[in-house]
Amino acid sequence: MKKTFKRISIVVLALLLAVPASLSLIGCNRRVPDIVVTIFPFYDWTRVILGENPNDLYVRYLLDTGVDLHNYQISFRDRADISTARLFLYNGGKSDVWTLNALINPQYQNRRAVPLMRELSLEETMVFPDENVISDEEECCGGATHDEHVWLSLQFAMRFVARIRDEIILLDPSNAEYYRQNAAAYIEKLAALDAELVQMTYDSPRDTILVADRFPFLYMASRPSLVERDGEMVQGHYNLFYFYSAFDGCSQATNVDFATRIELINAINYLALDVILIVDNVSLATSLINDSNFNPVIYQLECFQSVSRHHINNGLTYYYSMRQNLTSLKAALR
């Protein structure tokens, strides 16, 4: 029996070796993606720029099962698609550090790999005082760590869309003007939404929100600006609004410690909040409300970390969700 198994194993191995590497990994009957993207915002922006997709470029979104980007584990199929794609778009933060291995020895030698977070300077990114941030391993920055949720900044989103536009034009220069027009129209929409966000925070009677959940929204709360430091104007940030949160960054925790719980309840009472915000932790928000002297309504914020094909098929888009975030913030700051 052992000899038979050995002979079968040798035959199977020989067959695999006889098949081209790209086919053995991805299957003969499956189309190879032209563009592979990691997270939903990048996928949605790519779709917008492609529009009617005149050259029928195939875009694959890796996290379409809805897995949280912090829990994603690359599969053989994913690795093969990244290897054979013409363009790979990823964030460049700690959550996709797995790309360092996935990018080695591509089947398509001219593939372009674009870490969109690297469009930003170190001064434009923000530090969150917790373990839930990224290490900037490729920059000489003294071991500084920076929050990776840059897609939640509308200002940065416009720059990322412009970079994706340029990359798509490299793939399909014959339709360059069409892609430029699509990107320009979308950037104009994002710019208008960003202006609406800024004006809303200026006009709001409150300047502080409470999020009974993790807080990946630093880039919505603050934005890059020149600030005075030691008598000089340097790159810094200014706050559109301030916040309390149950957890920093993208903590996987669901229960707060006693001191944090008391702080959040006191904040609800002191600020007389009639709205508190969550990502998805309804139970914690409900518990805090029950222990407070007020009865605030719960509104939700979207951070795009667990977007599935089901959500996409039901019409979820980056622009619509960011507009909904603006509605939630407006309610919390009124």
Is 3 domain-assigned? no
Q: Is 178 a domain residue? A: no
pLDDT in tens, the chain (334 residues): 444 444 444 444 443 333 333 333 444 567 899 999 999 999 999 999 999 999 999 999 999 999 988 889 999 999 999 999 999 999 998 888 899 899 998 988 899 999 999 999 888 988 765 433 333 333 333 344 678 999 999 999 999 999 999 999 999 999 999 999 999 999 999 999 999 999 999 999 999 999 999 999 999 999 887 766 777 777 678 899 999 999 987 766 668 999 999 999 999 999 999 999 999 999 999 999 999 999 999 999 999 999 999 999 999 999 999 999 999 999 999 9
Residue 6's pLDDT is 45
Confirm whether 274 is domain-assigned: yes
Which residue type occupies 7? R
CATH of the domain at 246: 3.40.50.1980
Domain holding 309, by residue range, is 203-333
Q: How many domains does the chain have?
A: 1
Query: Domain for residue 165, yes or no?
Result: no
Residue 149 lies in a domain: no
Predicted local distance difference test score (pLDDT) of residue 123:
85
Q: Evaluate whether residue 31 is within a structural domain.
A: no
Would you say residue 117 lies in a domain? no
Region of 161 please: left (phi>0), alpha (psi -120 to 50) or beta: alpha
In whole angstroms, what is the distance from residue 312 CA to residue 81 CA?
21
Q: Does residue 273 form part of some domain?
A: yes
